[in-house]
Structure 1
Amino acid sequence: MLNLSMKPTGWFQIGWSGEIPPGGVKPLKYFGHDMVAFRTDAGELSVLDAHCPHMGAHLGYGGKVKGDCIACPYHGWEWGTEGQNALIPGEERKIPKKMRKYHALERHGIIFLWHDPAGGAPREGWELPDLFANPELPAEPTGFYPCYPDNIVFKPGERIHPQLMTENAADTAHFRYTHNAPEDPVLLNFDTSTPVWKSQMGFLSKRTKEIALRLHARNAGVGLSFTIFEHGVLGRRLVLSCTPVDDDTSDLRVSYYFPRDPVSPDIMPQHLRELSAQTEELFEEDARMWRHQKFRQQPIFAKRDVVGYRALREWCAQFYEAEGYPRGPLQVMEDDM
């Protein structure tokens, strides 16, 4: 049975690159930790513990970037991108005390953070999937409009557990009822042999009963999903994320990448803008379920669901290493059958 804490191991989205320009500072809170993200004048991003070791001021509220450091708004102490003390105003000395630095990386305009409840570094074999270097459907990122700021959804502070979002990877039946799809898709295949779930779903044409749309999914842990839509031409790409803020809430984000229109490669044409505007309602169709859903450890499966769902939950178990933490907003139903 899954322990379902709000402190799973893995990679999680914590924002978009465009939110923090050179010289920018942003306060963050994830997994119960106060953090500060800042970008140096040269463009390097760093994520540190938020509170200055000197007197405990929060660097995310009033802190300023000075070259390749962030300066505390309280007494001006400066800290480098590795968390090292770079300056104590009025003194020549520097203290050996370092602030904790979090492992973060940027890819295609999204900022990802590695979380290990034991404090470990990113692990070999747990690398993030690349939405554009997918071996089945590779594409050049430059062939797509950037996701930020026009093609995103941000829902902060939701009482939603990341496990609920992850279970969409094996759920074929909800598309017709939750999203009004004309036909149920088929889970064509899945692979649980690595910390990245790989699967394909196929949507059948109502007329020909042939596969008209394939969803190629890559799930990196329980809070991060990468999907490619394949339907004959270069399809859109999607990142869906659910990142725990504390033991009660998560931040949810959707990032869409639409193929550039050859007639209007720099400015999204109206039909894509209209499609992008539907993104929030598509998200809400799922979120309305997740906000009020209770989690069944032993569901009553439909026959077509049982193999994929069981495999997915067995795969998810590897990410719940932290013991003894609250399950947050997730209400787990006792087995009363």
Structure 2
Amino acid sequence: MTTADDAPQAGARRPARRPRPATAGDGPALPAPSGWFCLALSRELPRGAVLTRRFADEDVVLYRTRAGDVRATRPYCPHMGAHLGHGSTVVGETLVCPFHRFAFGPDGSCVSDPDGVPLHTGVEHLPVRERNGFLFVWHGHDTDPPSWELPADPGPEVRPTAHWAVETDTHPQEVVENIADFRHLGTLHRLPVRLLSSPTADGPYLRTNLRSDAGRIPLFGQFSWEESTLMAGLGWNLTELELPRYGLAVHLWGLPTPIAPWRTVLRVAAACEVTDPSRVPGPNLPVAHAALTRVVARSTLRMTARIIRQDVPIWDHKRYEPRPRLAAGDQSVGVYRHWARQFYPSGPDVGHDPA
């Protein structure tokens, strides 16, 4: 398992990969979808820090003010084009360009320069949200503000304690489609699962419910679980695994972010919480519970990373089929494809329903 500290730098520039077709037929490649996408962990951006991340084939500069507020901005100074992610500093609540020391305030406007005459322009800030230890930036297809919000946090005590990230030659839609394509869990990953209910869509949100009987966690051995996954756009999904026999619940985040055409960073994080202390193995002490939940979270993430490593070669070499010929039992994929259309600008073949 790779932790956040030794994972590849998510969003970093990488050597060009082999070219391959993004679609079948004559349809256009999928563009970056609209929605909220994770660019960093909160702990990667302490107060006064500046961070550059690749997002939808452009650089985005993240910085945290001395008061603790997070800002996301386009990378270039409007004065003479200096890259704000290379050498800028945070002074109080402002971001100061390294080239001519123009300072930009919380609203993006230029508030000062060394000569005392600020520019009559500013930098473009992007909508940003900080949730559960993650930093999300909005990607839209026009200048309108975000049209929907991320779901509420699972709870104030639920914080991820295990993280992992991987880059792959694919698109966020293909990554999230694995949740709807539950049948591949048996054929590729040897995980017997069954769908408990058909996926249900509610605007930008989609929920699925599965049952599996093939899990294994240290201290517990083989176990069964029911899981509910909520998708919010194509950049955020949260799977909740209830383990009532052991008085525990596991929360697993999947956060795919497009960094270039057909290149995606997938961040995965896990948390575990005690839901029934009377059923938790071991001593009924807060320190024991904290240690146990960390072990369970890390074990769950390790199992998830093993599964995703089996998916990566498929993603890296498959092509996107805008009109997949679905088999019997693939209804969930059809529901998912229809739901995913809303995150693209209207146009021929973009986000096509399967035939």
Q: Shorter-chain-normalised TM-score: which range?
A: 0.7 to 0.9
Pairing 1:286-297 to 2, within 5 Å after superposition: 286-297=311-322
* Alpha-carbon distance between aligned partners in 1 of 2:174 and 2:165, rounded to the nearest angstrom: 17
* Alpha-carbon distance between aligned partners in 1 of 2:296 and 2:132, rounded to the nearest angstrom: 23
- 2:267 is aligned with 1:253: yes
Tell me the residue number matched to 2:84.
59
Preserved contact between residue 104 and residue 110 of structure 2 (Cα < 8 Å): yes
- 2:120 is aligned with 1:82: no
What stretches of structure 1 of length at least 5 have no aligned partner? Answer: 133-139
Inter-CA distance 237–131: structure 2 relative to 1 (3 Å threshold): farther
Deviations 1:33-86 (A, max 9, x none): 322110011101000111111221111111111111111122221112221112
Inter-CA distance 54–218: structure 2 relative to 1 (3 Å threshold): same
Pairing 1:98-109 to 2, within 5 Å after superposition: 98-109=122-133
Q: CA deviation at 1:218?
A: 1.2
Tell me the residue number matched to 1:193.
202
What stretches of structure 2 of length at least 5 have no aligned partner? Answer: 1-23, 216-222, 275-279, 281-285
In structure 1, which of residues 175, 194, 214 is the aligned counterpart of residue 185 of structure 2?
175
Inter-CA distance 269–215: structure 2 relative to 1 (3 Å threshold): closer
Tell me the residue number matched to 1:308.
332
Tell me the residue number matched to 2:162.
151
* Alpha-carbon distance between aligned partners in 2 of 1:92 and 1:172, rounded to the nearest angstrom: 61
Inter-CA distance 106–117: structure 2 relative to 1 (3 Å threshold): same
Q: CA deviation at 1:105?
A: 0.4
Inter-CA distance 204–250: structure 2 relative to 1 (3 Å threshold): closer
Q: For structure 1, which segment, 59-68 or 250-259, has the greater mean C-alpha deviation from structure 2 after superposition? A: 250-259
Deviations 1:173-228 (A, max 9, x none): 111233221x232242321231111221223589xxxx942221111112322211
Tell me the SS of whatever aligns to 2:317. Answer: coil
Pairing 1:1-337 to 2, within 5 Å after superposition: 5-89=30-114, 91-123=115-147, 126-132=148-154, 140-142=155-157, 144=158, 146-147=159-160, 151-156=162-167, 158-181=168-191, 183-203=192-212, 212-232=224-244, 233-259=247-273, 262-265=286-289, 267=291, 270=295, 272-305=297-330, 307-321=331-345
* Alpha-carbon distance between aligned partners in 2 of 1:163 and 1:325, rounded to the nearest angstrom: 15
* Alpha-carbon distance between aligned partners in 2 of 1:3 and 1:313, rounded to the nearest angstrom: 16
* Alpha-carbon distance between aligned partners in 1 of 2:349 and 2:126, rounded to the nearest angstrom: 21
Tell me the SS of whatever aligns to 1:240. Answer: strand
Q: For structure 1, which segment, 254-263 or 242-251, has the greater mean C-alpha deviation from structure 2 after superposition? A: 254-263
Tell me the SS of whatever aligns to 2:340. Answer: helix
The alignment covers a number of residue pairs equal to 309
TM-score, normalised to structure 2, is 0.78
Match for 1:63: what amino acid?
A: S
Tell me the residue number matched to 1:135.
none
Q: CA deviation at 1:171?
A: 1.5
Provide the aligned C-alpha RMSD in A: 3.0
Inter-CA distance 271–242: structure 2 relative to 1 (3 Å threshold): closer
Match for 1:192: what amino acid?
A: A
Q: For structure 1, which segment, 184-193 or 100-109, has the greater mean C-alpha deviation from structure 2 after superposition? A: 184-193
Q: For structure 1, which segment, 221-230 or 255-264, has the greater mean C-alpha deviation from structure 2 after superposition? A: 255-264
Match for 1:229: what amino acid?
A: L
* Alpha-carbon distance between aligned partners in 1 of 2:77 and 2:213, rounded to the nearest angstrom: 56
Match for 1:130: what amino acid?
A: A
